[in-house]
Amino acid sequence: MMYRILTFIVSIAAAELGAQTVVASYGSDFNTTGAPTAGWSYLWNAPDGWGIGVTGDQASGFIGAPASYVPLILASPSYTADGDLVGGNNPPSGFMRLSSGGGHPGVSVGGSNMRDRYAIAAYTVPSSGHYAIANSFITMSNSSSNGVEVLVFPGISEAVLRHVSDPFSTTSFDTEIGYLDAGQTIYVAFGPNGSATSDSFSMDFDIVRTDRLSFRDQFLNGLASGADVITITPGRYYANPSSTYVYRGNFNPPTPVTVIADGVELINQSDNRTISLVNCNNLTLRGLSIDYDPQLYRQGTVESRNYSTGTFELRLHEGYPQTLSTTATSGITYEPSNLTMKQMTNTIYPNGNVTEIEPGLYQVNANFSNMDVGDFVSLTVSAGIPHGIYLENCTGVRLEDIEIHGAPAFAVLSVNGFQISLENVQITPGATPLRASIPRLLSSNADGLHFKHSYGEININNSHTAYTGDDGIILTTAYAPILEKNAANAITVATKSSSETVEVGDELYIYDPVAGTRESAIIQTVSPVAMSETAIRAEISILFPDANLTNSTFEQAFLLTLDTNVTTGTGGIVANRSGDSSGSVISNCTIDNTRARGILIKASNVVVRNNSVYNSFLPGIQVRPDAFYWMEGDFAHNVIIEDNELTRCSIARSNGYTPIYVSARGFNNWTPGTGHSNLTIRRNKITTPASGGILIEYADDVKLRSNTTTNSHNFTSASPFYDSVIRLERVNNVSIYGVNLVSGINEANANMSALIDTGPQVTNLNVVAGLLLDQDTDQLPDDWEIDNFGFTSVVDANDDTDGDGLTEAEEFIAVLNPLQQDFFQAKIGMSGGLHLNWTPKANRFVTVYQNETLDTSFSILEQDIPAEDGTFDLPPLVEGSIFYRIAITE
């Protein structure tokens, strides 16, 4: 019998768009004899303290802030601010009114009135669904008007429409709003557009609804359906959850599941988490855009700076939230001309010192941060349940083509993850609000992409973090503090979170950071210890007084017996080698304008390749465990940092560390073999750093090869200021080789003769080629130019003096004579097997490519072969033909 197998994909389209239904009509619903028709209310943005005969605080009453709206009063056949039809007798309401056929806005900005006053028709939707404004029109009664401004607000979020009516014709303000839950309110506001003269208007509009499930219901129903592919209906969705919006736990399908959310914009109106996936596997989320509105931070312009009191006055930007409380946590200063984070400034910490001067204007403590009048400032504020997307104990989860434009703390946080992939995840400020003239200055309130306690194979590719409130991308594992030494081979440890595990067979590194020692052991038994979180935290506070316990639960403790005796006891820390992020890659990513580091690594067996970091307050790429404050580690082993571009990194006033910075925090002493090991840092391009280019500490077996530093040493006042390009301290067995090019040192006190500087405890330093100066910044070493041409100003890198088809840069790389038509030669040798042979070249490297035809692209067979070897053994040729290509590099 013959069997036929049919392979197919099960798919579900989660809620198709149905027919529109008119649920409310402004004109026909308008009641002129009693209370407004159910669902409707008529309001205006009155000043605080306004009343009949009392103007109130005319700097207050912001449009877009529903909490400040007050009802209009029936004065049949209209609703007016003061309940009469006189008009103009109770400023700043002016001639404000709404009637069944139209109305008039209130007073415009001018004199003591600092806000345009809007007449607002509000409708609270009775059922959930997708909403829109339809069948609308507005007609001006007098052609001398400059038009009426129409704003449409979905609940507490910013306007989705700004329309200015044409005084000479009838215009429509139809607009899509999006999905709203029952009980949300749509506000349609009519304002004077800067001048209330001759602003009487006729208008009408309908509110229409289409059946649609919420994003949450489509997502969760789709996962429960058993389908392999779930498609979320495109469109805008608003949600105002009191806790996490979407939560799914324990999802483990037999085959991979993909949720397609292309064209879906999810607006979180709260300060809580948007998506939480716990114990979920084999799941891909694609195409979703997440934003938070109202924004979870404040931004404004510095109107004055008082250095004697350490304060500044900040005018909040129009179109953004207009309140700033004492919960403001940290601030960033920006250049108003190009919106980049401002160099030589520091993080602003208000520490609760925030005082309202008038609505929208605040005095803020600036501590020692440097800023000028006219600078822009953003300030984060405390939020609810943190993080935009949260993954815990997940395996095989993939985020693809995701945009996140705001988040309470991290945009994406993965805890205890394995095989987590991010492809084209964009963490950037969202679009400029319709009523704003200044673009958004912040995306996430803290880190962009944070991977904590990961078990390996984290792949972050082609992603972008920009304007983050802290680090761009982090890979970190965790230290467990030792609470008690129970026996020579037994210790009690506490883990940082309840989801962390310790298991029999796990390999541990056990550190005494004060003594600078490290021991290794393997767990033989694990026994839970009955200690409350309160008791554990109290013990840690005594043993580690500098520890930041805010974001760590420390809910569990374990007694571990080990396969060997250890000397480290109470007050030591433990790193579990089973969760060290092995096999993780961060590649082809862009990180710009971050308040801290671009990329931070506290893990091992990681590749950081071909990324671009621009304008970071702290180092562009940092490798550094933290023994006490964050209790995160560990030292990095087998890490490659290659082909990255780092521009304007470490620009903060008191953080002038090098753009590539390998070190440790909280380890008071070091001995060889206890810190980082086997680090390769090659072909990175460093431009315009604060001081030097690379700092390496606490490390063994480091290879620095062919890194380029251009326009170094920009800020003498940066602290610490390293006058060399490469600085080494507490290192053993470091090799500097290849072509390391240094161009355009700016500061007079930078040490031109000692480009490699050594501090304490440097042993076995092997400088093969050193650093080559390129003071004319043409990407050719000065000595090479002088040896061949007599001067540095004769040729540039792209010239071809001898006309042999190779540029001067290519002649230099291939170690050829730029004044003679010679070539880099390679040939196949057959003696004793197949060999690829070439003329040996010192301090260069060869990559060998192969392909069966000349018509398609070649693949890499082997790379980083020392060119001085002059030969490479090729694999045996079984049949057919193989073509080889050889490339020589720095």
- For residue range 534-554, list pLDDT tens digits in order: 999 999 999 988 888 876 778
User: Exposed, middle or buried: residue 515 (CB in 10 Å: 0-12, 13-18, 19+)?
Assistant: middle
3-state secondary structure 236-280: EEEECCCCCCEEEEEECCCCCEEEECCCEEEEECCCCCCEEEEEE
Distance, in Å, from the CA atom of 561 to the CA atom of 574, rounded to the nearest integer, reads: 13
Sheet with 376-380: list strands edge to edge. 331-334, 376-380, 297-306, 311-316, 361-365, 354-358
C-beta of residue 283 within 8 angstroms of C-beta of residue 419: no
Peptide bond into 294 cis (omega under 30): yes
Distance, in Å, from the CA atom of 440 to the CA atom of 319, rounded to the nearest integer, reads: 10
Sheet with 845-851: list strands edge to edge. 859-866, 845-851, 883-889
Distance, in Å, from the CA atom of 651 to the CA atom of 496, rounded to the nearest integer, reads: 32
CATH assignment of 297-381, among 2.40.10, 2.30.30, 1.10.10, 3.40.1000: 2.40.10
Length reported for the chain: 890
C-beta of residue 58 within 8 angstroms of C-beta of residue 358: no
Distance, in Å, from the CA atom of 639 to the CA atom of 676, rounded to the nearest integer, reads: 9
Of 636, 640, 632, 592, residue with least CA distance to 616? 592
Of 302, 299, 297, 305, residue with least CA distance to 314? 302
Distance, in Å, from the CA atom of 533 to the CA atom of 510, rounded to the nearest integer, reads: 23
C-beta of residue 234 within 8 angstroms of C-beta of residue 264: yes
Contacts for 398 with CB less than 8 Å, ≥ 6 apart = 283, 284, 285, 420, 421, 422, 423
Alpha-helix residue ranges (DSSP H) falling in 69-150 = none
Q: What's the pLDDT score for residue 167?
A: 86
The torsion region of residue 456 among left (phi > 0), alpha (psi -120 to 50) and beta comes to: left
pLDDT in tens, 429-446: 999 999 999 999 999 999
**Can you list the residues of the chain whose pLDDT is less than 70?**
1-18, 368, 551, 655-656, 752-753, 831-832
Distance, in Å, from the CA atom of 446 to the CA atom of 219, rounded to the nearest integer, reads: 27
C-beta of residue 256 within 8 angstroms of C-beta of residue 284: yes
Contacts for 881 with CB less than 8 Å, ≥ 6 apart = 852
Distance, in Å, from the CA atom of 104 to the CA atom of 8, rounded to the nearest integer, reads: 61
Residue given tokens 């009838």 in the structure block: 170
C-beta of residue 229 within 8 angstroms of C-beta of residue 12: yes
> Rounded to an integer, what is the distance from CA 712 to the centroid of its chain?
26
C-beta of residue 125 within 8 angstroms of C-beta of residue 135: no
3-class SS of residue 808: helix
Rg, the chain, Cα only: 32
Sign of CA dihedral 508, 513, 519, 525: negative
**Fold of the domain built from segment(s) 21-210:** Jelly Rolls (2.60.120)
Distance, in Å, from the CA atom of 317 to the CA atom of 111, rounded to the nearest integer, reads: 20
Q: What's the pLDDT score for residue 18?
A: 59
> Rounded to an integer, what is the distance from CA 119 to the centroid of its chain?
39
Phi, psi at 533, each rounded to 5°:
-60, -40
User: Exposed, middle or buried: residue 793 (CB in 10 Å: 0-12, 13-18, 19+)?
Assistant: exposed
Q: What's the pLDDT score for residue 776?
A: 80
How far, CA to CA in Å, does 100 sit from each of 82, 126, 129, 188, 292? 18, 22, 26, 14, 35
Supply the DSSP symbol for 288: -
Of 618, 595, 599, residue with least CA distance to 608? 599
Using alpha carbons only, what angle is made at residue 268 by residues 436 and 41, rounded to the nearest 5 degrees? 75
Buried residues in 196-218 as b, exposed as e (16+ CB within 10 A): beebbbebbbbbbbbebbbbbeb
CATH assignment of 479-576, among 1.25.40, 2.60.40, 2.30.110, 2.40.160: 2.30.110
Supply the DSSP symbol for 29: H
Supply the DSSP symbol for 505: T
Distance, in Å, from the CA atom of 148 to the CA atom of 120, rounded to the nearest integer, reads: 13
* Biggest CA pair distance of the chain: 108
- Per the DSSP assignment, residues forming a β-bridge with 465 are 427, 591
Using alpha carbons only, what angle is made at residue 788 by residues 784 and 793, rounded to the nearest 5 degrees? 75
Question: Strand 161-164 to strand 149-154: parallel, antiparallel, or no bridges (unpaired)?
Answer: antiparallel
Distance, in Å, from the CA atom of 831 to the CA atom of 334, rounded to the nearest integer, reads: 65
Distance, in Å, from the CA atom of 274 to the CA atom of 288, rounded to the nearest integer, reads: 12
Contacts for 62 with CB less than 8 Å, ≥ 6 apart = 45, 68, 115, 322, 359, 360
Q: What's the pLDDT score for residue 890?
A: 82
Q: What's the pLDDT score for residue 144?
A: 86
Of 631, 619, 638, 622, residue with least CA distance to 678? 638
3-class SS of residue 560: strand
Distance, in Å, from the CA atom of 800 to the CA atom of 203, rounded to the nearest integer, reads: 73
Q: Which two tokens stand for residue 633?
A: 């580690």
Q: What's the pLDDT score for residue 752?
A: 66
Residue given tokens 């990194």 in the structure block: 649
The model's pTM = 0.93
